[in-house]
Amino acid sequence: MRGFYIGRFQPYHNGHHHMVEEIAGEVDELVLGIGSAGDSHTMRNPFTAGERIMMVSKSVDEFDLRTYPVPIEDLERNSVWVSHVQSMSPKFDVAYSNNPLVVQLFREADVEVRSSPMFRREVLEGTELRDRMVQGDDWENLVPDAVVEVIDEVDGIERIRRVADTDANGDDSADPE
Amino acid sequence: MRGFYIGRFQPYHNGHHHMVEEIAGEVDELVLGIGSAGDSHTMRNPFTAGERIMMVSKSVDEFDLRTYPVPIEDLERNSVWVSHVQSMSPKFDVAYSNNPLVVQLFREADVEVRSSPMFRREVLEGTELRDRMVQGDDWENLVPDAVVEVIDEVDGIERIRRVADTDANGDDSADPE
Amino acid sequence: MRGFYIGRFQPYHNGHHHMVEEIAGEVDELVLGIGSAGDSHTMRNPFTAGERIMMVSKSVDEFDLRTYPVPIEDLERNSVWVSHVQSMSPKFDVAYSNNPLVVQLFREADVEVRSSPMFRREVLEGTELRDRMVQGDDWENLVPDAVVEVIDEVDGIERIRRVADTDANGDDSADPE
Amino acid sequence: MRGFYIGRFQPYHNGHHHMVEEIAGEVDELVLGIGSAGDSHTMRNPFTAGERIMMVSKSVDEFDLRTYPVPIEDLERNSVWVSHVQSMSPKFDVAYSNNPLVVQLFREADVEVRSSPMFRREVLEGTELRDRMVQGDDWENLVPDAVVEVIDEVDGIERIRRVADTDANGDDSADPE
Amino acid sequence: MRGFYIGRFQPYHNGHHHMVEEIAGEVDELVLGIGSAGDSHTMRNPFTAGERIMMVSKSVDEFDLRTYPVPIEDLERNSVWVSHVQSMSPKFDVAYSNNPLVVQLFREADVEVRSSPMFRREVLEGTELRDRMVQGDDWENLVPDAVVEVIDEVDGIERIRRVADTDANGDDSADPE
Amino acid sequence: MRGFYIGRFQPYHNGHHHMVEEIAGEVDELVLGIGSAGDSHTMRNPFTAGERIMMVSKSVDEFDLRTYPVPIEDLERNSVWVSHVQSMSPKFDVAYSNNPLVVQLFREADVEVRSSPMFRREVLEGTELRDRMVQGDDWENLVPDAVVEVIDEVDGIERIRRVADTDANGDDSADPE
């Protein structure tokens, strides 16, 4: 029994971590889809896919569960999104998501989906976390230790502060006026 | 004499239908360009190109007019948009549009364009219609009967309600936090 | 009962036409997918999607069958090809193809496919036809009359001769040395 | 010593011009990257890359500096943006920018970047300038004379007014409801 | 010390496996880049990225080495290829390759590359292996056991035989004449 | 009177140079379109767009002619190629080309094109030149002096030899077996 759980993991935090723990009780193996893999260096998507693979891989080590972190680039075609995900991921039996669009797309493709109100936490925590990083508030206790190490290694706090500056001017690409 | 009339037709409704009736008096054949053909499963673009071809084809049957419904994928390059449309569509003599940008692009390419204030109705009705679908208000009497059938067949109301939920969270792609 | 039959139709010829006649005996409606819709002005793909829509639409008029000619742009991702086609096309119950890859992709997606050795004729005739156009040999009796008209209208013979020249130099894009 | 200075130049105005003058004192040659080269016919990006090349080339003639105006198409992948720019541009020793994201990307790639608060002027002036064009207020004295000529030649004021109309309806592509 | 080793792994075979064993002696962790991740269902690229992740992950279990299998989609822009790979992969100190272009690109980007004549074996064996699969010759003893299991599970032999048929007709996309 | 002359300029050589000299007698200004701008590091396209801008700019200095070297990325859609070129280039009155496809596309778009058998020389010399670079034969006397300098500066001979090696194995992307 293999599950599939997708997130942007910007960054991977305790909300995600608890979900993985939860799912670990239901499946033998878990694919962790790292969404918007091509995006980085924006306020909403500060970290590269490679950095997020590190965060996820090191963090889930503590669980007794075989995991496959897989970056998934955006296709911007909802109608082929399920096929895209299925081609990039090891075959899975059940998808975990609380995003209504993701749920709808998997259902139209006859893939079993499981939802839980708990998933919502991750959304709130992601935005909150990034704001704290920018403001200089405490964020380290909201993520697994491995994530703190990765962010330190890539000088992630300085990066997110700079790009936050750019976003404040209404821009999130490297293309100035 | 062949005309070209483009819309997203999300869904095809009475406003569009009256425009086609109007245009039918001026041309022998009409190309119906189905814009943003690659988009679907969002609040603004709930239906696939294939579903919209069905809506349009069945609805215009009642007119004495040869029609060609043609899906047009977005290119996101305004400067080549006219060439793109011309390559996908049977050759046409006049374009019908009230969108100022479309009018401008056709004029710069020396294509005749005809506008009418009546076109504006379609814009308002599209948004209104989709809101009614989400809210559970009456929408069936704002579209041709054939459109009701297509939407029923694909379980369109459930789909638009789900994706409306996602959009309310500021997202319109299948990529969760 | 709706069928789906895909080809490049460069141009639509008697081999295709006989297949459509055959299929007409098995289905109520038929989607005619016009493949590689974005390609044109090459030896292998001389005509635009719009020109091919005209060829197909006018030719199938003689059959007692509702048809939907639908241009399909290439995605160059075999793993999402079926989803792409399904989103662009009115819903279909059975696909007709003799291309082993197409058959394989539809089967993996649990779509019924019907093949027939007769399909092979179209392949041979397409290449043969275009060679005749270039060489100045007789080609008009290998296609429906409506196709002759479309090709005349767009000065198609001059076009294919020019691009044949370019291809002979090993190039099929508008990008010289 | 060769510098690199990127902007969208929609249009090229006195703010940009003063920056180039400033930079001219520090380098022997200057690459002028014309960003979002594929965008045009929107309120934010009214002019084509070709039109902007003309504006820039004619305006910088007065400086004693070899310049290379180079259109740069958007890639929408921040992580490869520096490589993309480097492949499109003659080799440069130092980049000039005040955009925090651009600064961050160049730094992560070990490219020297110089910033100056003066760069901010260009941002404000770009938006202000386009608003004046739409409103019919005086704009000609905010740009070099060569820019006035280019905009006149392409009927730029009429174009920006039309597309402003479209944008007011929340749309910036040639794809109507 | 982290290494990076890229291949298409179509399929992952004993040649690759010996290389990984070799590299395991030089690094602490190894990223396994799965190239042309978007390609599948062709003679040259029969398996999806997800299937190849499975092959690689299960096979390298036997080594005492932390590995990260990472699908890398093609960008078709050699000049940004290194940046693309670096953004998708956990940070690495040394790249392993015998492909002269890959070596050249990494060197121009100041990344250390190590080559070995032994790498060539993988090239020959990949083509040979796929031919054997098509011909019905013995191939199972040229790959790790885990790879046999994955290929059986996805009915890989039937798939490659079908697509080989298509390729024999000079085509490798799902787009028939 | 402004002309447009497109080439890949891989590299810019005496054949191109004589053509520019010829054209200089007919126009006041000349746009030099640098085709396949995104390609580099292959046997057929060894140099980046930026490197080719340098070659062209420095070489044409000797002529009394205002020139605009403009990189043009491939779109791979022949039907929109003319619009693409027109949006990237300063407005031009006449195009110079001997490529039959380019001639055909400009004619269908009602752009004046001038051809000359002399253009063919450039094709032959491009391939010949690159072969000489690889083989170690004399090539310096076939190109303007400025081109020798640029190629030396970027270590171009080593690069083309390495990628020639890769091409000999039937590959021209950074994606090994």
Residues E107-125: tens digit of each pLDDT:
999 999 998 766 556 556 8
Nearest by CB to residue E176, choosing from C78, C99, C127, is C99
Per the domain annotation, does B177 fall within a domain? Answer: no
Q: How far is D83 from chain E (nearest CA, A)?
A: 5
Per the domain annotation, does B105 fall within a domain? Answer: yes
Report CB contact under 8 Å: E90, A54. Answer: yes
Q: How confident is the model at residue A99 (pLDDT cuts 50, 70, 90)?
A: confident
- Residue range C50-98, pLDDT digits in tens: 999 999 999 999 999 999 999 999 999 999 999 999 999 999 999 998 8
E173 pLDDT exceeds 70?
no
CB–CB of F10/F47 below 8 Å?
yes
Neighbours of chain B (3+ CB pairs under 8 A): A, C, D, F
Which pLDDT score, from 0 to 100, does residue B98 have?
81
Which pLDDT score, from 0 to 100, does residue B118 have?
64
D14 pLDDT exceeds 50?
yes
Per the domain annotation, does A176 fall within a domain? Answer: no
Per the domain annotation, does D177 fall within a domain? Answer: no
Count A/B contacts: CB-CB distance under 8 Å. 66
- pTM, full prediction: 0.94
Integer Cα distance of A43 and A20 in angstroms: 25
Q: How confident is the model at residue E8 (pLDDT cuts 50, 70, 90)?
A: very high
Q: The domain that contains C151 carries what CATH number?
A: 3.40.50.620
Closest-CA residue of chain F to D51:
F90
Per the domain annotation, does D176 fall within a domain? Answer: no
- Residue range E151-169, pLDDT digits in tens: 999 999 999 999 998 755 4
CB–CB of E94/E23 below 8 Å?
no
C168-172, E139-143, F43-47: which range is least confident on average?
Answer: C168-172
Looking up tokens 């275009």 gives C130
Residue B168 neighbours by CB distance under 10 Å: 11
φ, ψ for residue A27 (rounded to 5)? -130, 165
Q: What is the mean pLDDT of residues A95-106?
A: 91
Q: What does the block give as tokens for D56?
A: 């820039």
Integer Cα distance of C120 and C123 in angstroms: 5
Integer Cα distance of E22 and A152 in angstroms: 32
- Which residue positions in chain F have pLDDT lower than 50? 169-171, 175-177
Q: Which residue has the higher pLDDT, A100 or C147?
A: C147
Looking up tokens 């060769």 gives D2
Q: Is C74 on the interface with E (CB under 8 A)?
A: yes
Closest-CA residue of chain A to B175:
A35
Neighbours of chain C (3+ CB pairs under 8 A): A, B, E, F
Torsion (CA) C142, C147, C149, C151 in degrees, nearest 10 = -90
Closest-CA residue of chain F to D70:
F70
Closest-CA residue of chain C to A85:
C80
- Which residue positions in chain B have pLDDT lower than 50? 169-171, 175-177
A12 pLDDT exceeds 70?
yes
Q: Is F51 on the interface with E (CB under 8 A)?
A: no
How many structural domains is chain D composed of? 1
Integer Cα distance of B17 and B23 in angstroms: 10
Q: How confident is the model at residue D26 (pLDDT cuts 50, 70, 90)?
A: very high
Average pLDDT taken over every residue of chain D? 91
φ, ψ for residue B173 (rounded to 5)? -125, 165
C175 pLDDT exceeds 80?
no
Which pLDDT score, from 0 to 100, does residue F129 have?
94
State the DSSP string of D106-173.
HHHTT-EEE--GGGHHHHHHHHHHHHHHHHT---GGGS-HHHHHHHHHTTHHHHHHHHHHHHHTT--S
CB–CB of F44/F91 below 8 Å?
no
A174 pLDDT exceeds 90?
no
**3-state SS assignment for residue B94:** strand
Average pLDDT taken over every residue of chain C? 91
Q: How confident is the model at residue C170 (pLDDT cuts 50, 70, 90)?
A: very low
D123 pLDDT exceeds 60?
no
Per the domain annotation, does F176 fall within a domain? Answer: no
- Residue range D151-177, pLDDT digits in tens: 999 999 999 999 998 755 444 555 444
Domain that holds residue A102: 1-171
Per the domain annotation, does B176 fall within a domain? Answer: no
Q: Is F10 on the interface with C (CB under 8 A)?
A: yes
A176 pLDDT exceeds 60?
no
Nearest CA to D129 out of D149, D151, D102, D98 is that of D151
Helix (H) or strand (E) holding C67: strand C66-71
Nearest by CB to residue E77, choosing from F38, F162, F169, is F38
Triad B145, B148, B153: Cα angle to 5° = 130
Average pLDDT taken over every residue of chain A? 91
Report CB contact under 8 Å: F77, B86. Answer: no
Per the domain annotation, does B36 fall within a domain? Answer: yes
